[in-house]
Amino acid sequence: MLLKIHFILIVFTAVTFGSVQHNNLIIAVGDELEFLTDGNAYRTLTLNSYNATKLSALAYDATTRKLFFSDQRHHYGHIFSVSLDNESHRPVEDIVEKNNNETVESLAYDPVNKMLLWTDGLNRAIRRVQIDNDPIHIEEKDGVQIVHFLENDAKPRGLVSDPCTRMLYWTNVHDSNPTIERSFLNGSHREIVLHSDLLLPNAFDLDIMEQMIYWAEDLHNGYFRIERSYVNGTGRQEFYRGMGSFIVSLTVGEDYVYWTDYSHKKLWSLRKDGSSEKPIILRTFRYPATGVVVFRHQPLDCSLVKIHHQAHRADGETLTIIFSTITLLMVLAMAAVLVIRLKDNRRPLVLSKKNEGTFAFQNLENGSSNNNVYTACERAI
């Protein structure tokens, strides 16, 4: 019962206070980084004392307000970071030195252990490096550890980490046997999440709050598709199928999925809840955009993961119906409950702290203050 009330509270809050909004995005285009606010205002991020060549993989850390990126044709560096704290001063640091024998396809940052991870497709490896002190500069030989060294012909491509569940997910664009896999961030418990009906899961992201993975592939017949499933591979569904564009990168925001494509050189957006049929074009670039990430002002609040997780146990479409029905029917009832609650005492609307589910973070304190959210998550495990 309590759970239901909380669920309804969330719906109520969402309906009353939360309209659908675009996330702010950082986009890599050629030798430039672009910042997109509310889906329409653009500006180029100038980088101090740094000449970019061809930017690609991006990862953003809201705890330190640092953006990590790789620069494919840079003479000395491989992976860089830039602090986005100060509008007028954005110092770039060379974090991982260039090694002609290695590639960086995708970057992920774990704020709990301050670990930067990346896929090296050429060497079939997922590597990591600890970013503990500022400034940091690592020669490839020292400091870089291998999380996974994959089998013959494997090609790790997309990579995402989940600070809340301590998991790592990646796609393997193997020619004949592509997979989507996961393990703990420390490399243990590696397992294959999906292996059937995959072609080239090139662009990849994780919706941490909903615990769903999204991937995009080229279908070789002029079409591409974006699919999603729960992180354990169940509940797989086609999210969108479109024509004529190879998807280069994809990121999942609160309300929208965003992707960039090669042939049209555009940034697209599509509502996650399925309420819009066609994707909306947010921007057309001079070159294909090679990376896109959501820019968050606050780190994710892991204590909220469980609620969404439970709410989504139902099948997606049924859930949408349940959602709208409950919303319509219960808004009035909730108003009454709220009035009674407010009369009762002046407690703010906090989410449950009780152990009601089976999700790993049920014991977390409610994270209305975002300090040490990740640390709290780690302690909970």
Ligand X SMILES: *[C@@H]1O[C@H](CO)[C@@H](O)[C@H](O)[C@H]1NC(C)=O
Binding site for ligand X (CB under 6 A): 49-51, 86, 88-89, 101, 123, 166, 184, 186, 188, 230, 232, 234, 313, 381
Instruction: Tell the smallest beta-carbon distance from residue 207 to ligand X (Å).
Output: 12
Instruction: Tell the smallest beta-carbon distance from residue 268 to ligand X (Å).
Output: 27
End-to-end CA distance of the chain: 27
Tell me whether residue 62 or residue 331 sits nearer to ligand X (CB atom): 62
Tell me whether residue 186 or residue 368 sits nearer to ligand X (CB atom): 186
Tell me whether residue 197 or residue 344 sits nearer to ligand X (CB atom): 197
Instruction: Tell the smallest beta-carbon distance from residue 89 to ligand X (Å).
Output: 3
Residue facing ligand X at closest CB distance: 89
Compute the distance between CA of residue 246 and CA of residue 200 in angstroms, rounded to an integer: 11
Structure tokens at 304: 């909220």
Q: Angle at Cα 88 formed by Cα 86 and Cα 89, nearest 5°? A: 65
Burial of 207 (0-12, 13-18, 19+ CB in 10 A): buried
Instruction: Tell the smallest beta-carbon distance from residue 101 to ligand X (Å).
Output: 4
CB 258 within 8 A of CB 292: yes
CB 25 within 8 A of CB 35: yes
Instruction: Tell the smallest beta-carbon distance from residue 191 to ligand X (Å).
Output: 11
CB 376 within 8 A of CB 304: no
Q: How many angstroms separate the Cα of 109 from the Cα of each of 66, 75, 286, 301? A: 10, 24, 29, 16
Instruction: Tell the smallest beta-carbon distance from residue 122 to ligand X (Å).
Output: 8
Instruction: Tell the smallest beta-carbon distance from residue 163 to ligand X (Å).
Output: 11
Burial of 32 (0-12, 13-18, 19+ CB in 10 A): middle
Tell me whether residue 151 or residue 277 sits nearer to ligand X (CB atom): 151
CA-nearest of 317, 346, 230, 330 to 4 is 330
In sequence order, what are the residues at sequence separation of 6 or more whose Cβ sits closer than 8 angstroms to the Cβ of residue 141?
none
Residues in the chain: 381
Tell me whether residue 210 or residue 261 sits nearer to ligand X (CB atom): 210
Tell me whether residue 19 or residue 88 sits nearer to ligand X (CB atom): 88
Tell me whether residue 262 or residue 359 sits nearer to ligand X (CB atom): 359
